[in-house]
Structure 1
Amino acid sequence: MYDTIVIRTYTRGRQTVLLSLCKLESEAKLKRFILTSNHTLQCPICREDLTYLHSTSSKHLKANSILHNLFRQEYVKEYDIRQSETENERKNIIKKRLIIGNRHQLLSYDYDYTRHEWTLFIKFENDHQKDVGQFIKQIIVNLHPTFVPSQIILDKPPFRLTRIGWAVFNISLSIEFHAKWNKSDLVTNWFLSFSDADTQKMMEIEFQKSTDNTTNNTVL
């Protein structure tokens, strides 16, 4: 059930052997073994102290290029497979910059009452092809409770909402993505601005293309 794994390194011309009595199938298992072991880490041949493999402050294994290279040589096939998987995942990642903001126009002004027209917008940067609808299914907008209705659902692009009011407030947003992206809802907020220029914030979102759904590649 258990194998003895012998890892050989060389320090100042001496052979250092680290023995592990658990079956180590990956470098991650070696890390877990070293970090969870209550035994003194010591070379069984030269008795060299190997406690440098521990990091007492962060409880993480310190980087060890020797072990890394040894495992890469020992598990060539596994490393190649994982590298291929990583490259494929990177190719299937779509990065989009989501922009949330509002435009504003002053309608009337007097001492007792001021009327402002504002338009909330949610879009992608450089959205010339208007593909935001391929990613976003709907957006739930929660306004100040004085608005009736105070909750509005935007279910198709362009995702905009225009209202008339007299003061700024915080707008709560819940953005739901299409199921094919397998992505959790994004909950964020936007504080309304009555400045003359358009105000906005930007965030980067990653989407993972499904390898099983070839239609994603043609649409995008």
Structure 2
Amino acid sequence: MISKDNYTCPICLGVFVDPCKLQCNHTFCLSCLLELVDFNFIRYKCPMCRIEFLNDKGPFKIDEEISHIVQTCFKEEFQKRKEEIKLKQEVDQKEMKIKINYGNTYRYIEEEKTNKHLWTVYVTLDYVNQLDQTPLNSLILIELVEKVKFTLDETFYPDVIVVKSPPFQLTRKGWDVFSIPIEITFKPQYKLDPIKFEHHLVFEQDGIKKCQISKINAENIKKQLDAQKSDQNQKIVQTKQIWKV
């Protein structure tokens, strides 16, 4: 007798839907894997054992053998779980994953007696999926940002710096490393929640580059872009009417 425990996803605890087996032999639903795996198109980690793999073999592949067993032996559970995933995907279509690139550059200053470290902390935004550019009219994501707040160590004055235009970066001299809380605030018309994270300075070689994936409400952005386009078209029509008169 086939045990359902052997065909249950350890993330959603439902039977497998589009099961994907990683190189470590742990298996997950494709939708669960894509939701949980923290990857930046270079490396990713198994959600179970945390073994790291290179993402160099293209998209995750469905294990057809496991999929067939689940659909044959656990039909009702499979259909129920499939419907749950479908409903969630309909909600997720309103969201879009963006890539937050951040880090710091670094240079050692020999002539300085105390503050011998010159560093620049920075933040940029990019699309995770380049196809997301199409419904947003190839919008440059950094144009959504109203300001970025950097909170420095209390030994700096001022220790809270707000940058209100790109490039969103900050250059200082210092004598030691510390963590910098960063808050990205978007322009109010897009109705997007702020994104908060921290960056720990690295004073080695040329610095460090990091990346994290966050979600924003793409539907709100598209509504605002459509409204702007409608206003522009209306102004063009009004201008033409004036010239006719």
Residue 108 of structure 1 aligns with which residue? 110
Deviations 1:112-170 (A, max 9, x none): 635221111000248x9753132x22221111111111111112211010111121111
**TM-superposition CA deviations, 1:19-71 (whole Å, max 9, x none):** xxxxxxxxxxxxxxxxxxxxxxxxxxxxxxxxx9xxxxxxx99666427759x
How do 1:21-32 residues align onto structure 2 when only pairs under 5 Å count? none
Q: Which amino acid aligns with 2:102?
A: I
Residue 207 of structure 1 corresponds to 216
Structure 2 residue matching 1:123: 3-state secondary structure: strand
**Alpha-carbon offset, residue 172 of structure 1:** 1.4
2:172 to 159, 163, 183: 163
Write the distance in 1 (CA, Å) between the matches of 2:116 and 2:215.
39
Q: Do the aligned residues in 2 keep the contact of 1:103 with 1:118 (CA within 8 Å)?
A: yes
More helix by share: 2
Report if aligned partners of 1:102, 1:200 keep a CA contact under 8 Å in 2: yes
- Choose the corresponding residue for 2:99, options 84, 97, 100: 97
Report the counterpart of residue 124 of structure 1 in structure 2. 125
How far, CA to CA, are the matches of 2:196 and 2:154 in structure 1?
19
> Tell me, which stretches of 5 or more residues in structure 2 are unaligned?
5-11, 16-73, 128-137, 229-245
Please report the TM-score for the alignment, with normalisation by the length of structure 1: 0.53
Q: State the Cα distance separating 1:198 from its structure 2 match.
A: 3.4
Which structure 2 residues correspond to residues 1-220 of structure 1 after superposition, within 5 A? 65-66=75-76, 89-108=91-110, 113-125=114-126, 130-134=140-144, 136-210=145-219, 214-216=223-225
Residues in 2 aligned to 1:199 and 1:205: alpha-carbon distance in whole angstroms: 20
User: What TM-score results when the alignment is normalised by the length of structure 2?
Assistant: 0.49
Q: Aligned with 1:133: secondary structure?
A: helix
Determine the C-alpha separation between the residues in 1 that align with 2:162 and 2:78: 52
Amino acid at match of 2:216: F
Distance 2:76 2:191 in 1: 39
- Identity value in percent: 19
Shift of 1:212: 9.0
In structure 2, the CA distance between the partners of 1:117 and 1:97, relative to structure 1 (3 Å rule), is same
Task: Give distance in 2, aligned partners of 1:204 and 1:61.
Answer: 24
Provide the C-alpha distance between the structure 1 equivalents of 2:172 and 2:14, rounded to a whole number of angstroms: 56
**Partner-residue secondary structure (3-state), 1:108:** coil
CA contact (8 A) 2:189 2:224 kept: no
Tell me the secondary structure at the aligned position of residue 154 of structure 2. coil
Unpaired segments ≥5 residues, structure 1 = 1-51, 53-59, 73-78
TM-superposed deviation, 1:105: 1.3
> C-alpha root-mean-square deviation of aligned residues, in Å?
3.9
Q: Is the 8 A contact 1:108 1:114 kept in 2?
A: no
